Structure 1
Amino acid sequence: MALFVLTYGYHDTPLRAERREEHLAHLSKLLEQGSLVAAGPCADLTAGIIILRAEDEQAARALVDQDPYTRLQVTKDRTLREWRVTVGSLG
């Protein structure tokens, strides 16, 4: 399994608050399935980062595409990249 880092910003839309619980439920489901390593907003709340575990980029992209924030265009400037940990570990 490979690791993938998703970074994104947010559109200025009330959907971010309205659909937050659905977004968090999606992330919780991914965590239970072993596909989510970590997720959260940046300290200034203008962007977010999600670290995923998937077989390949296509599988990681499918996980991102299922997120309500992605489907509803709450997020913008999404970048998904494979990440190789060189120092440290993510358990």
Structure 2
Amino acid sequence: MAHFVLTYAYNDTPLRAERRDDHLAHLDALHSEGALVLAGPLADRTGGIIILSAEDEAAAQQLVERDPYTKLDVTKDRELREWTITVGSLAQ
């Protein structure tokens, strides 16, 4: 399995608050599936970071596309990049 880092910013939309529970439920489901490593907003609340575990970038992108925040354009400037972990408990 490879690890991927998703970074994003938020669009100015009421859908962020309205669909937050759906977004969190999606993240919980990914965690249960073993596909979510870490997730959370930046301290200044301008965006967030999600660390995913997937076979390849296409599979990671499919996980991102399932997120209600992605589907509703709550997030913008999304960038998904493969991350090689060399130190720590997830190092390969």
Which bracket does the TM-score occupy, shorter chain normalised? over 0.9
Q: Are 1:3 and 2:3 counterparts?
A: yes
Q: Are 1:73 and 2:73 counterparts?
A: yes
- Cα deviation 1:10-33 (Å, max 9, x = unaligned): 000000000000000000000000
User: Normalising to structure 1: TM-score of the pair?
Assistant: 0.97
The letter of the residue matching 1:25 is A
Return the offset for 1:88.
Answer: 1.4
Q: Are 1:39 and 2:36 counterparts?
A: no
Q: Could you list the runs of 5+ residues in structure 1 that have no partner in the other structure?
A: none
Distance 1:43 1:89 in 2: 24
Distance 1:5 1:89 in 2: 16
Distance 2:51 2:4 in 1: 6
Name the counterpart of 2:22. 22
Return the offset for 1:89.
Answer: 2.1
Q: Are 1:85 and 2:85 counterparts?
A: yes
Q: Could you list the runs of 5+ residues in structure 2 that have no partner in the other structure?
A: none
Indicate if the aligned counterparts of 1:31 and 1:37 stay in contact, CA closer than 8 A.
yes
The letter of the residue matching 2:89 is S
Distance 1:24 1:89 in 2: 25
Distance 2:18 2:90 in 1: 31
Aligned residues: 91
Pairing 1:50-69 to 2, within 5 Å after superposition: 50-69=50-69
Let me know the Cα RMSD of the aligned residues.
Answer: 1.0
Distance 1:18 1:39 in 2: 19
The letter of the residue matching 2:24 is L
> Could you tell me the percent identity over the aligned residues?
70
